[in-house]
Amino acid sequence: MKSFYLTTPIYYVNDAPHIGHAYTTVAGDVLTRWHRQRGESVWFLTGTDEHGQKVMRTAEQNGVAPQAWADKLVEDAWKPNWHALNIANDDFIRTTEPRHMDRVQKFLTSLKDKGFIYQGDFEGPYCVGCEEFKLPGDLLEGNLCPTHSKPVENVKETNWFFKLSEFTDRLLAHYKNNPDACQPESARNEVVAFLEGGVRDLSISRSTFDWGVPVPWDTDQVVYVWFDALLNYATAVGLTDDPESEGGKKFAQTWPADVHLVGKDILRFHAVIWPAMLMAAGLEVPQKVFAHGWLLVGGEKMSKSKLTGIAPSQITDHFGVDAFRYYFLRAIPFGSDGSFSWEDMSARYTSELANDFGNLASRLAAMVEKYCGGLLPAVARDAELSAALEETVAKADAAMQVLDFQGGINAIMDYCKMVNGYVTIKEPWILAKDPANQQALEDVLYNTAESLRALAVLLHPVMPATTEILWESLGAKATLGEIAAQRIDAVATWGQLPQGANVTKTPVLFPRLEVKE
Ligand code: MSP
């Protein structure tokens, strides 16, 4: 079976991660966890981009060799950061690994053999921050990069070129025939307009420094960092390996990638250069490139170079990891820019997570303990709750399929609100006062527990740790098995929690926030 294959950008190791990087990776993690719970085979790749002048110069400024610098950042900053955020990637690729570098060289040689690489003279402005050749018309005040507000450098070299311009018409036809291949629509429109404006061949090697993959037939040159980096998506799963080998089999099982998640800053690399490279090699192009928006600070893209980067731990120390994972996907439509605000996050934490979700769970556990000795009463079925759950699952699944995380989470949280409304109306604490209402009381408790079972499963991709606690407290782990093994397509089947399941009080799922000084 072909795997659902999702990638994040590979991040530069010039600095430690900030919440902009975490935004992309968490989105990828949520989506891949969702697909795993749909019963699909999934492959989720992230990693680091370690070559090029940007990383090389940072290492130099710190008085360390680039490899030692990259090793340190990967081990001390990037990997621990993803671990702390509960990211369940299947692989982590570093562009300095031999498995990557060897395959880049093989790929490049094959493109040269096919006649897509030629030698030429290059002269033009280059921004090291973007690692990108610019057109004079792109610059502000004649020589400033519009992204970094820093002067560009003039590069004049003889190097190797890729015949990118030959692919303009095929790329345009591709996006016209496959609107899904670049999303959201605004991103596709941008790419199409860019292609319609005409595309030049691309210089894909550099000779003035040596921190990169050597060009196999001209080792005085290293491969342009973006050409090297884009290939990670394919080298990590066995590009160029013999079809009968392990790598070749992995490639057949994963390629083409289903989703490349990227920030809109790097859309053109992914939607123009990358598919052209694949077309040149006779390989399938990715099913979808999705460009999400930026987290803004003071109206500008959050970035380390502008000293506006917020470390994920600054937020998770206060709100916890699951609230972090929830908040950005819930608050910002995926594809649009959004500003981070401490106040907004506190407000949503309290109303949606602590009150709507966390309190429901703790109230249920307290009532089952008090009124039923901690054992779940017999199976009951509230027709309205059960029908609403079916609708919720259909809506959430449809939204997740198109990377509408906000729509998906909203559908689930609306159901949570509905269950709260159900408990409020039924007033089990009043029913409990009269033994004649015992049956009604037990029905309410069972229906609430069963709704929480579904909420735990549906929110598991977003908040894996908290839902796991809830799962155990519902007695679900002991009776239904691991939460991660629960299928989205079965979650709406009512009556899964068995009578007698042992419901226990949870530690508070979302504790009251400490007042910030
Ligand atoms: N190394 C390249 C990508 C190569 S992929 C073949 C690169 N790295 S990066 O470290 O600069 O990370 C870029 C990605 O981080 C963006 O595409 C985006 O996914 C994420 N973000 C970085 N800053 C961001 C925001 N302020 N807001 C949202 N996402 C941001 O570019």
pLDDT tens-place string over residues 262-315: 999 999 999 999 999 999 999 999 999 999 999 998 788 888 777 788 999 999
Instruction: Return the structure tokens found at 274.
Output: 């990358």
36-61 confidence digits (pLDDT tens): 999 999 999 999 999 999 999 999 99
Residue 347 dihedral angles phi and psi, to the nearest 5°: -65, -45
Atom of ligand 1 lying closest to residue 294 CA: 27
- Distance from residue 281's CA to the centre of ligand 1 (Å): 26
Atom of ligand 1 lying closest to residue 293 CA: 28
Q: Give me the DSSP letters along 37-101.
A: HTT--EEEEEEEE--SHHHHHHHHHTTS-HHHHHHHHIIIIIHHHHHHTT---SEEEETTSHHHH
21 an active-site residue? yes
- Distance from residue 296's CA to the centre of ligand 1 (Å): 13
Q: What's the full length of the chain, in residues?
A: 517
| In the predicted structure, residue 517 carries a pLDDT above the cut 80 | no
The active-site residue out of 72, 79, 304, 306 is 304
Beta strand 42-49 with 91-94: parallel, antiparallel or unpaired? Answer: parallel
* pLDDT for residue 89: 98
Describe the strand order of the beta sheet including 295-297 as a list of residue ranges. 300-301, 295-297, 338-339
Mutate which of 231, 266, 310, 315 for ligand 1 pocket (most atoms within 8 A of beta carbon): 266
Residue 390: pLDDT band (50, 70, 90) is very high
Sign of CA dihedral 424, 429, 434, 440: positive
* pLDDT for residue 201: 97
How many beta carbons lie within 10 A of that of residue 83, not counting itself?
A: 10
Cα–Cα distance for residue pair 142/136, rounded to 1 Å: 7
Buried b (16+ CB within 10 A) or exposed e, 249-273: ebbeebbbbbbbbbbbbbbbbbbbb
237-263 confidence digits (pLDDT tens): 999 999 999 999 999 999 999 999 999
454-512 confidence digits (pLDDT tens): 999 999 999 999 999 999 999 999 999 999 999 999 999 999 999 999 999 988 999 99
| Residue bearing the bigger pLDDT, 155 or 423 | 423
Rounded (10°) CA dihedral 140, 144, 145, 150: -140
Residue 232: pLDDT band (50, 70, 90) is very high
Q: What does the pLDDT average to over 125-131? A: 92
| In the predicted structure, residue 7 carries a pLDDT above the cut 70 | yes
Residues 494, 403: contact at Cβ < 8 Å? no
| In the predicted structure, residue 411 carries a pLDDT above the cut 70 | yes
**Closest Cα to residue 441, out of 370, 503, 383, 391?**
370
Q: What does the pLDDT average to over 115-137? A: 92
End-to-end C-alpha distance for the chain, whole angstroms: 53
Instruction: Return the structure tokens found at 357.
Output: 């979700």
Q: Atom 9 in ligand 1: which residue has the minimum CA distance?
A: 11
Describe the strand order of the beta sheet including 91-94 as a list of residue ranges. 91-94, 42-49, 4-12, 259-263, 289-292, 182-183
Cα–Cα distance for residue pair 71/55, rounded to 1 Å: 12
Residues 393, 458: contact at Cβ < 8 Å? yes
The active-site residue out of 145, 182, 372, 416 is 145
For the chain, give the percent of residues with pLDDT over 90. Answer: 92
18 an active-site residue? yes
* pLDDT for residue 298: 79
Q: What does the pLDDT average to over 153-179? A: 96
Q: Atom 29 in ligand 1: which residue has the minimum CA distance?
A: 20
430-469 confidence digits (pLDDT tens): 999 999 999 999 999 999 999 999 999 999 999 999 999 9
| In the predicted structure, residue 384 carries a pLDDT above the cut 80 | yes
The active-site residue out of 51, 100, 127, 416 is 127
Distance of CA 139 to CAs 98, 194, 215, 243, 443, Å? 37, 16, 30, 46, 67
Q: What does the pLDDT average to over 14-24? A: 96
- Distance from residue 311's CA to the centre of ligand 1 (Å): 14
Residue 502 dihedral angles phi and psi, to the nearest 5°: -90, 105
| In the predicted structure, residue 131 carries a pLDDT above the cut 70 | yes
Q: Atom 10 in ligand 1: which residue has the minimum CA distance?
A: 11
416 an active-site residue? no
Atom of ligand 1 lying closest to residue 11 CA: 10
* pLDDT for residue 340: 86
Pocket of ligand 1 (CB under 6 A): 9-12, 20-21, 23-24, 49, 229-230, 232, 262-263, 265-266, 294-295, 301-303
**Closest Cα to residue 44, out of 227, 278, 259?**
259
- Average per-residue pLDDT for the chain: 96
Q: What does the pLDDT average to over 145-163? A: 92
Cα–Cα distance for residue pair 502/228, rounded to 1 Å: 54
83 an active-site residue? no
Residues 454, 491: contact at Cβ < 8 Å? yes
| In the predicted structure, residue 27 carries a pLDDT above the cut 90 | yes
**Closest Cα to residue 41, out of 90, 114, 99?**
90
Mutate which of 8, 10, 11, 50 for ligand 1 pocket (most atoms within 8 A of beta carbon): 11
35 an active-site residue? no
* pLDDT for residue 506: 81
